[in-house]
Structure 1
Amino acid sequence: MPCSCNNVNDILATGFNGTTFAFPNALDIDQANQIVYFTDAGAIFFSRNLSTIIQSNDTSGKLYKYDARTKTLSLLLNGLSGPLGVAVSKCGAYVLIDEYITSRVRRYWVSGPKAGFSEILVNLPGSPDNIKRTISGNFFAAVTILNRQTFQTTSSVGQRINGDLGIVEATVNLTAQYTNNLISEVQEFLGKLYIGPSTASFVSVYGP
């Protein structure tokens, strides 16, 4: 059953416990349970400067849960380092959050014996932006690998992650298409990958 709101202009929340959100960024919906998961990446991202963001070691990012049935907002995680992506597992048992500054993916357990517990699922070779679940239940993360001295892009890759096992199953090199450009999303659909950039003026389709 889809999440229900009165109309498309409904404002679900502007802050938590009297504090306004700093930089709301990623969102995913568990439609079966009518739960909206979203992140606040932290005010550091207003700078738009990669060197400033990465060198800040900022840990002000947060993960929230909005329950459309009870219309309640809950803080699930704080202390995140640039959470720019969030994706709910196919079974709804956990949520993956990628952390741009620390180049990793974290798993937060929603249900089961580990409910309320988070752990580092996998470390990545670069800074991940969005993370999207595939139809098979795995996840694709858009990863930009930067030279940490010049903060120029050295390569761009899409990485398919097994959220259950915590392993990278495949890496697709997208550097030829996105030289010196940041990629923000890799979405799999019908055997092809659709790549969205942050700084380029085109979208690529990768696959047979």
Structure 2
Amino acid sequence: MHEPTALVPVRYFAIGGRGPEDVVADARGRVLTGVEDGRVLRVDGLTEPAEPRVEVLADTGGRPLGLELLPDDALLVCDAERGLLRVDLTDGTVDVLADSVAGERLRFCSNVVALADGSVCFTVSSRRHPLEHWIGDVVEHTATGRLLRLAPGSDTPEVLLDGLRFANGLAVSGDGSFLVVAETSAYRLTRYWLTGPRAGRSEPFVENLPGMPDNVWRGSPDGPIRVALAGPRVPALDLLHRTAPAVRRAAARVAVHAPFRPTGTIGVLAVDDTGTVVHHLARRHSGFRMVTSVCESGGRLVLGSLWERGVAVCELPDPK
């Protein structure tokens, strides 16, 4: 793993809503995000000297998390309360694409990507804990996360991978042959093969990460996969994960009711399609906490957070 270099902040912008959990940039550099009250926002001018412009595009009626832009002026949304949604960005219409799998209601949908064949793959972080009790799943280490696929024209997802440890961010390889899935509480990225002789199989892609991977983002097939690190590794949590399930369940019951404040240590990784770390950016004692997403816009990095009421803009590192 690379020695970290400084994550250099440039500006911070309040956007009129709490918890811009995922951030994605469109072709014009505008940043889209979803906030706690259900609104989907578009922020323009983040890298300009003037104040950015915030526009409300839609209201999902739930809690939008992971986003994926589509070429037909639409947006895929993983909603923690309503399932997998499609938002028409021209008029704000919200359609439910899937809200259950194998008769079980989808809860805690996390991140989503669209594939070249028209299918959609998305993650479910936990089948046991809802979003508001996310820390309970991280503590309990339930391994109930899933990777799902929705075929074109279908409303019934199929399960590609089960038993993931808080499945989170999702990205496609440059050639479309595999997916990269972030497993937050396992500190790793997992590869799931879509094509080739290993299609349908999974394997570790990058392990022993220096923090908890959350959302991941890829701006172009030849660009790196950027990984937001929501928090540093916690030695006590690592020890707890090796205890008996009953001990972890008891600890989780306490954790969901205990006061929580994220640490000031944040980070961003970039990896290529071989699993090589291109760079590791980190900042201690940051005023902007719990970085759950990252994208690139106008030659800068834009950070989102489940905790904050705005987004942060940071320096883009020099290419290696």
Q: Distance in 2 between matches of 1:6 and 1:200?
A: 24
- 1:92 is the counterpart of 2:201: no
Q: Distance in 1 between matches of 2:198 and 2:108?
A: 28
Distance 1:18 1:196, change over 3 A: same
| Aligned position for 1:205 | 313
Any residues of structure 2 matched to 1:153-164 within 5 Å, and which? 153=263, 155-162=265-272, 164=273
Q: Distance in 1 between matches of 2:166 and 2:300?
A: 28
Q: Higher relative contact order at CA 8 Å, sep ≥6: structure 1 or structure 2?
A: 2
Q: Tell whether the 8 Å contact from 2:265 to 2:286 is kept in structure 1 after alignment.
A: no
Please identify the structure whose Cα radius of gyration is greater: 2
| Aligned position for 1:186 | 294
- 1:25 is the counterpart of 2:110: yes
Structure 1 window deviating more from structure 2 (40-49 vs 130-139): it is: 40-49
| Aligned position for 1:111 | 195
The TM-score with structure 1 as length reference comes to 0.85
Residue identity opposite 2:211 in structure 1: G
Identity, % of aligned positions? 27
Q: Tell whether the 8 Å contact from 1:146 to 1:155 is kept in structure 2 after alignment.
A: no
Aligned-residue Cα RMSD (Å) equals 2.6
| Aligned position for 2:284 | 175
Residue identity opposite 1:96 in structure 2: V
Out of 133, 142, 159, which is 2:228 matched to?
Answer: 142
Distance 1:118 1:142, change over 3 A: same
Distance 1:191 1:46, change over 3 A: closer
Task: Give the structure with the higher percent helix.
Answer: 2
Distance 1:149 1:72, change over 3 A: closer
Residue identity opposite 2:159 in structure 1: L
The TM-score with structure 2 as length reference comes to 0.57
Out of 166, 174, 196, which is 2:275 matched to?
Answer: 166
Structure 1 residue runs without a partner (length 5+): none
Residue identity opposite 2:234 in structure 1: N
